[in-house]
C-alpha cells in the first residue's frame, strides 16, 4: 500500500477500527444537530466521533450523522483537482440543503473539512454554499458558544492537569483560537495554554510522501520544541488528524481531540 501513494516507510499507516460513531435513540432535546463524521473519524478514529456524540447529547441535542455525504473534497482541492472538489462539494451542499436538513446546524470535528464548507465551496462558486456555510461550526466552537450562554449545561470532574493546545492551521486562519483555552479551563483544575506554533508539517498527504518527509519534519520542529518545553505530564490537544499523526509520529506525546478531553471529563 505504501508504494501506491509514495509513503515513506517510517510513517505508520492508520489503523481502521471496526467501530463507527452512532447517535443514541432520539430523546426530547434542545434541537437537532448534524455531526459531519469525516473520513478520518468514520474509518480511523471513531472514538472521537463517539466522544463528540456523548458531549452533544449531554448538552441536550439530538445528534444525527450526515446521510449520503461524500468526502468534503479537501484532498482533491489541495492537489489542485478543482473539478473533483467541485463535484463533491455540489453533492454535499445539495444534500445538506434538503428540507430534512435545511436549518440544522452542521458540526465538524476536522478543521480542514470545516474550512471547505465555510470558505472553499464558496470560492468554487457552488450554488447555495453561502447558506450552508452559515450553519457550519467547528465542534469545539459550537460547544464553547453554548457554554457561554449556559455555563452550567455540562458538569465536569475536578482534576488538576496542564493542557497544551495546538490549533489547526485552517482554524487559526478563520478564527482566533484563544477561545479553546477558555473552553478547557471550564474543566475544574485544568490549566490550558494555546501553543504559539505554525503548521505541524504533515498537511494532509504532504508529509506522508517520501520526497517530502524531511521537509515535513523540519516544518514540525517549532511545534515539537513547544511540546518538549511543556511541564512533564502535559496533555496535548490537537483537533486536526494530520496534526495528531505528526505529533504521535515525531514525539512521545499522544494527542487527543478536544471532544475526547470534554467527554472524558463529564460527570
Contact 182, 207 (CB under 8 A): no
Average pLDDT of 3-29?
A: 53
CA distance 83 to 87: 6
Asked whether residue 182 carries a pLDDT value surpassing 80, the answer given is: yes
pLDDT-wise least confident of 20-29, 91-100, 163-172: 20-29
Contact 95, 223 (CB under 8 A): no
Average pLDDT, the chain: 90
Q: Residue 192: beta bridge partners?
A: 163
Looking at residue 206, the DSSP 8-state letter turns out to be: G
Give residue 6's pLDDT band: very low, low, confident or very high (50, 70, 90).
Answer: low
Contact 175, 145 (CB under 8 A): no
CB neighbours of 129 closer than 8 A, spacing ≥ 6? Answer: 89, 93, 117, 121, 122
Residue by residue, DSSP assigns 20-51 as ---PPPP-S-SEEEEEE--HHHHHT-HHHHHH
Give residue 18's pLDDT band: very low, low, confident or very high (50, 70, 90).
Answer: low
pLDDT at 211: 85
pLDDT at 1: 45
CB neighbours of 174 closer than 8 A, spacing ≥ 6? Answer: 115, 118, 119
Average pLDDT of 3-16?
A: 52
CB neighbours of 103 closer than 8 A, spacing ≥ 6? Answer: 135
What residue has cell string 444525527? 64
CB neighbours of 79 closer than 8 A, spacing ≥ 6? Answer: none
CB neighbours of 25 closer than 8 A, spacing ≥ 6? Answer: none
Q: Give the CA diameter of the chain.
A: 53
- Per-residue pLDDT reduced to its tens digit, 45-76: 999 999 999 999 999 999 999 989 999 999 99
- Per-residue pLDDT reduced to its tens digit, 187-224: 999 999 999 999 998 887 777 778 888 898 899 999 99
Asked whether residue 26 carries a pLDDT value surpassing 50, the answer given is: no
Q: Write out the E strands in the chain.
A: 31-36, 61-65, 106-108, 136-138, 161-166, 190-194, 235-238
Amino acid at each position: 500500500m505504501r508504494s501506491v501513494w509514495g509513503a515513506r516507510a517510517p510513517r505508520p499507516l492508520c489503523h481502521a477500527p471496526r467501530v463507527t460513531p452512532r447517535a443514541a435513540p432520539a430523546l426530547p432535546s434542545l434541537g437537532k444537530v448534524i455531526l459531519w463524521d469525516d473520513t478520518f473519524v468514520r474509518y480511523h478514529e471513531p472514538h472521537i466521533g463517539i466522544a463528540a456524540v456523548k458531549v452533544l447529547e449531554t448538552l441536550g441535542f439530538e445528534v444525527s450523522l450526515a446521510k449520503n455525504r461524500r468526502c468534503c473534497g479537501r484532498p482533491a482541492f489541495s492537489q489542485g483537482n478543482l473539478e473533483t472538489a467541485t463535484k463533491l462539494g455540489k453533492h454535499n451542499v445539495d444534500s445538506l440543503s434538503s428540507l430534512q436538513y435545511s436549518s440544522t446546524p452542521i458540526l465538524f470535528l476536522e478543521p480542514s473539512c470545516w474550512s471547505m464548507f465555510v470558505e472553499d465551496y464558496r470560492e468554487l462558486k457552488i450554488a447555495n454554499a453561502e447558506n450552508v456555510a452559515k450553519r457550519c461550526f467547528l465542534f469545539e466552537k459550537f460547544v464553547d458558544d453554548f457554554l457561554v450562554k449556559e455555563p452550567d449545561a455540562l458538569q465536569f470532574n475536578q482534576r488538576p492537569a496542564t493542557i497544551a493546545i495546538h490549533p489547526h492551521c485552517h482554524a487559526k486562519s478563520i478564527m482566533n483560537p484563544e477561545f479553546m483555552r477558555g473552553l478547557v479551563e471550564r474543566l475544574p483544575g485544568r490549566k490550558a495554554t494555546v501553543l504559539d506554533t505554525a503548521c505541524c508539517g504533515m498537511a494532509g498527504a504532504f508529509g506522508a510522501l517520501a520526497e517530502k518527509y524531511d521537509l515535513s519534519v523540519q516544518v514540525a520542529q517549532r511545534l515539537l520544541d513547544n511540546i518538549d518545553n511543556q511541564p512533564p505530564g502535559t496533555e496535548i490537544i490537537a483537533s486536526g488528524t494530520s496534526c495528531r499523526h505528526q505529533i504521535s509520529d515525531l514525539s512521545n506525546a499522544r494527542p487527543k481531540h478536544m471532544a475526547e478531553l470534554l467527554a472524558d471529563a463529564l460527570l
